[in-house]
Each structure stands twice: as structure tokens, then as C-alpha cells.
Amino acid sequence: MEKTLPLTVEYKPRPAQNRRTTWLKNVVLCVSVAAVIVLWTHRPIFEVIGIQNGEHHVSKSSKSPSQCAQPDALFPPSDNEALEKMWEFLSTPEFEKASIERHSGAVKIPTQSFDDLGEIGEDKRWDVMYPFAEYLEKTFPHVHKDLKLEKINTHGLLYTWEGSNKDLKPLLLMAHQDVVPVPAATVDSWTYPPFSGYFDGKSIWGRGSSDCKNQLIAIMETVELLLDAGFEPKRTIVLSFGFDEEISGGQGAATLAPAILERYGKNGIAAIVDEGANFVNAWGSVIAVPGVGEKGYTDVQVVVRMPGGHSSIPSDHTSIGVISEIITAIESEQYPTFLVEENPFLGLLQCGASHSPDFPKKVKKLLGKHKPSTCQAKSDQLALEVAKMGPATKYLMQTSQAVDVIQGGVKNNALPERASVTINHRINIGDKPETAWKRITKIAKHVAKKHNLTLHAFDGTKEAPGSISISASKETLDVAPVTPTVIDGSANPFSVLAGTTRAIYGEEIIVAPGIMTGNTDTRYYWDLTKHIFRFGPGYDPDDESGLGNIHTVDERVSVRNHFNAVKWFTLFVRNMDGAEME
């Protein structure tokens, strides 16, 4: 492939005879599969970062029909022969064969993290991380020779490639080493063994192949290749690889982030790229959706304690019956559906209205009249109309509640003395965890009064007979800060990311920031920078599996996706190094 030509994506729009049905189907599928969705912040945009004759420059954007202008493709200067040869090498059979072997080898190491893992050094199941670190050292010798490697809390891997200009904030690239466990009962259901790293000519199969050893290996390959080509960065590059993201990162990212913060200070990092959303097909368009925000999170536990006794002489209501009343009341009413100005999904709708041929007219009309508000007294007509496409989209505009765990009773002839329920919430933009706490407290207060029980809501009181106790999990998170996505003619991380993406895949690709319904290791990195992107930059237009096979049987990733991820990181690192910003 010529170095100045982007790898274009051939996209064929779906038949338009039933555009509304097609739109609903496409978007619901994309959102539910990827568990992500997108935005474009709606601010006046007049100029974008571009490229001309191999040099970084600011160029005038063509007038957009709305506030969703797209940046030009962005390439670094083509004045280094070794780096140009390296770029050409990425499209050779030699590189592709070696890259497949590297990624396959990583998948073969079963770095599973379990919910009940004990402390490092005590629980032997952590020891599988040692051979994975050894594999990286063997596979990427330049990285381990030329970069500083620190092992944080034993298994956290922190690599530092010092740049020549200390005035520039570092670039931080992230991934996690661990993978979701493979239940023994499901092994026979896999087409190829889950830790075989099998390559079938198109895809690499196995647990972690797409979540997210693909990203980790792509980052390591990028740095190894740049080192081999003699690249000398001006901007320091930091790699941070946690080892327990799949169990909330409490021992991995939670120790890596403070170490980085102590070194560089608050807002001391230029930008972060971690795993996350990738590409979706919607409204007749292909859209890259780097996540720029995450919903909040809280688990609420309700415990009912009541007298026991023999079931042959039961009380009128048992603890199970009382907690069932609470559950019924909780599920009888949902949280309001609304779109505030900060919600990334509102920006997606504006972007779709600007660029996508199959965007529905009714939604476009409501979009033009929409006035974002958190006021629940007045219905948000735009949000309610869009929510009709299904739960996967509705919950991008609504706090979700899910009764996930219930316990009570130990014997069929003994009245249950204790019953408990855990309700999981993902907090909408514009809401707070306290919104859920107050609502459940109000419901429990009514039930407690009815049954003459004492209520202890979020006051730290230990459970006691004759009471209802309510508490929140320590993992509670506010809604994540939203990354700025303004393109105003100056270089900024989002414009570099978008320009890099369009350089790789072609300018028919729309780049629109996204919101994550789940949480990544970036939850611990908020203080380091305002520019956090949760993005899987690999893309294969011929691969229909997308993220649909992560955390389940037959997880796999196409090698074209992986090769493109390496190309993306290679360009992004160089583009960030050449961008004139802090």
C-alpha cells in the first residue's frame, strides 16, 4: 500500500425501501453488540486539522450541514526514510505472518482473573501473569531493552519511553493483561480450544483475542517497530497494562494510576487511549465511535431482618415476602428518560442528522426543537421517541436498574430470618448515584412503616432484627467526566485521533465520540487528563462478529482488524508527537 493512500473501506448502504425499520435494526444491533454508543458535541466548528504535502497544517473545513464537521485525514511528515519503510512493511506478508504469531502466542497464555481472587502472593492463581510478562519480554526485545519497565504491585506493567522535550505532556496507552474465565462446562462448545490461539486463515480464536490482548499486542508491536526504525519521540510515551480489569481493577489499575499521577501530576498527561468502542453501521453510514465518557455505577443492597420460627406456625409476612414487596415497588417504575446537553448520545443524533442518508425525519425534526433538561415534570419528547428503538438505546438516556442477586431462607420448614437483594444501576448522564439511593430509601421507608420495621438507610448501622438496612457498594462511581471534542483549528487530542482514523480507513468514515455503558480501567485515571478515549481502533468491514463474541464462547478477532490496529497506533503516536500542543 502506498504510504500516502488510506486503506479505504468499501461500504454498501442497505436497501432504503424501509429506512425506519433498517435504521432501528442497525442501531439496536450495533449498540447491543458493542455495548457502546456515540456522540458528536454540538459546538460551532469552522476549521479542522488537515494534511498537505506531508506536513501538519490547519485547513478550512468544507461547510457542514450542521455542527458535525469532520477533520481531514492526518499523516505525519514523510521526511524519514526509515519510518516510511517501516510503514510500508506493515502491509507485507512478512509482517502479517509475524504479527499473527505474536498475537496467537499471547492468547495461548490463560491469564484469567476470577471474582474471588485473594491477595497477590497468597493466591497462586495470580501466578499465570508471570509467564505472560515473560512472553512479552521475549517477543518484544527492543521494548524491554530501550524502555524503562516498572512492575507495580507485582503484575502491573508500566513502560516509559522518555521523549526529548520535557515540556510536552506524555501520551498514555493502556490495555489489560487479564481475560474473563472460561467456564469448564463451556469448553466443548468452542469451535477451537479457548486458549489455542488458533488461526483459521482469517481470525485468531481464543479468550482474550479481542478483549483485549489484541490491543495490548498492537501497542507493543507499534513501539517495537518504531524503535527498530530509529524513531525518537519528542513526547514521552507511557504504556500502562493492568492485570485485573475484568474484576474491576482493584489491584491493577488502582495501583498503576496513583504511580503515574505521583510522577506527572494532575492533568499531567496529554491523552489516554484504552480499550473501548470501535465501529458501527448506522443510518447508512460507517461510524468510528471512540468512547469519551462512561455512565455511572452503583449497586444497592437491601437487607430485611425478621423473626424466624417454625413454618407450621408462620407469621403473616416473612422477610422474603417483605423484600418481595420492595422489589415489586422498585420494578413498577423506571427512571425518567431524558437527554441533557452533556450526554454523548445527543451529539450522535446530531451527527447522524448531518451525515447519514437514512436518518429518520421525525427524529431530525424533534432534534431541531430539543431543549436539554433534567426536569422530570416535562417529558423529553426526543428521548422518548428515540427510546422506541429498544432497551439498548433507551438506557443510553436513562438510569438502569436490574435486580440481579436475591438470597433468603435456608430450610423449607424454617421461617427466613434474613433476606437480601442487590440492585445494579448504571447512572444516566445528568443523574447521580444518590438519585437511586433516595428512590430506594423512599420505597423502603413505606414498606418499613407498613410492617413496623426500623429503617437504616446508608447510615452504616449493622443489620439488626426487625429492620430494613440499605447500603451501597464501594465500587460506586459518578458519571465519568466527558472528554472535550471541539475542533477549533488548533491541534487537540480528539482532532488528532479523528484525523488518524480517517487516514487509515478513508474519509467516508464518520468519527463521532461515544459513551460507554460499562466501565474500563480508565475509572482510576480521571485525574491524569481531560482527554480519555476508550477506543478499539482496529476495523475489518468484512467481519460481522464485531464485539459480539467477547466474554462468551468462540471469542475471536480478524487479523485484518489486528493489522489495522497496529497501523492506527503507529500513525497516532507519530501524529501526537508532531502535534503542536502541550
Among 372-376, 413-417, 544-548, name the most confident range.
413-417
Percent of the chain past pLDDT 70, that is, above it, reads 87
Q: Are 295 and 426 in contact (CB under 8 A)?
A: yes
| Mean pLDDT within 198-215 | 96
Q: Where are the alpha helices (DSSP H) in 229-356?
A: 253-264, 319-331, 344-355
Residues 197, 528: Cα–Cα separation, whole Å = 35
> Is residue 178 annotated as part of the catalytic site, yes or no?
yes
User: By 3-state DSSP, what share of the chain in percent is helix, strand and coil, each rounded to 5?
Assistant: 35, 20, 45
| Mean pLDDT within 32-37 | 37
**Helix or strand (DSSP H, E) at 343:** none
Greater model confidence, 15 or 455: 455
Set of cell numbers at residue 580:
503542536
CB atoms within 10 A of CB 96: 16
Indicate the SS3 state at residue 419.
strand
Residues 303, 320: Cα–Cα separation, whole Å = 10
Residue with cell 423529553: 380
Catalytic residue selected from 72, 221, 244, 245: 245
pLDDT of 21: 38
289 part of a folded domain: no
Determine whether the annotation assigns residue 246 to a binding site.
yes
Set of cell numbers at residue 300:
444497592
Residue type for position 256: L
Predicted confidence (pLDDT) at residue 31 exceeds the cutoff of 70: no
Q: Which DSSP string corresponds to 448-484?
A: HHHTT-EEEESS-PPP-TTEEEEEE-TT-BPPPPPPP
Dump pLDDT digits (tens) for 240-286.
999 999 999 999 999 999 999 999 999 999 999 999 999 988 899 99
458 part of a folded domain: yes
| Mean pLDDT within 64-88 | 85
Determine whether the annotation assigns residue 274 to a binding site.
yes
Q: What are phi and psi of 405, to 5 degrees?
A: -135, 130
Domain span holding position 403 = 296-335+399-479
End-to-end CA distance of the chain: 33
Q: What are phi and psi of 426, to 5 degrees?
A: -115, 120
pLDDT of 5: 24
571 part of a folded domain: no
Dump pLDDT digits (tens) for 135-179.
999 999 999 999 999 999 999 999 999 999 999 999 999 999 999
Q: Where are the alpha helices (DSSP H) in 388-432?
A: 391-394
pLDDT of 377: 55
CB atoms within 10 A of CB 291: 31
Q: How confident is the model at residue 537 (pLDDT cuts 50, 70, 90)?
A: very high
310 part of a folded domain: yes
Per-residue exposure over 413-433, b if at least 16 CB sit within 10 Å of its own CB, e if not: eebbbbbbbbbbbbbbbbbbb
437 part of a folded domain: yes
Greater model confidence, 549 or 288: 288
Set of cell numbers at residue 5:
493512500
Determine whether the annotation assigns residue 211 to a binding site.
yes
Set of cell numbers at residue 427:
447512572
Residues 114, 77: Cα–Cα separation, whole Å = 46
The pTM assigned to this predicted structure is: 0.85
Average pLDDT, the chain: 87
Predicted confidence (pLDDT) at residue 27 exceeds the cutoff of 70: no
472 part of a folded domain: yes
| Mean pLDDT within 516-537 | 95
Dump pLDDT digits (tens) for 95-106.
999 999 999 999
**Helix or strand (DSSP H, E) at 399:** none
Dump pLDDT digits (tens) for 498-507.
999 999 999 9
pLDDT of 546: 57
Dump pLDDT digits (tens) for 319-341.
999 999 999 999 999 999 999 98
> Is residue 79 annotated as part of the catalytic site, yes or no?
no
Determine whether the annotation assigns residue 551 to a binding site.
yes
Predicted confidence (pLDDT) at residue 383 exceeds the cutoff of 60: yes
Vertex 157: Cα angle to 154 and 163 (nearest 5):
140
- The set of residues, in sequence order, having a beta carbon less than 8 Å from that of 286 and lying 6+ positions away, is 9, 11, 279, 280, 505, 508, 509, 510, 541
Predicted confidence (pLDDT) at residue 579 exceeds the cutoff of 50: yes
Percent of the chain past pLDDT 90, that is, above it, reads 74
DSSP state of 155: T
pLDDT of 23: 40
pLDDT of 37: 35
pLDDT of 38: 35
Residue with cell 485473594: 118
Q: Are 338 and 383 in contact (CB under 8 A)?
A: yes
496 part of a folded domain: no
Dump pLDDT digits (tens) for 404-463.
999 999 999 999 999 999 999 999 999 999 999 999 999 999 999 999 999 999 999 989
119 part of a folded domain: no
Catalytic residue selected from 72, 178, 244, 554: 178
Number of domains in the chain: 1
pLDDT of 42: 30
Please, is 317 exposed, middle or buried when counting C-beta atoms within 10 Å of its C-beta (0-12, 13-18, 19+)? middle
CATH number of domain containing 415? 3.30.70.360
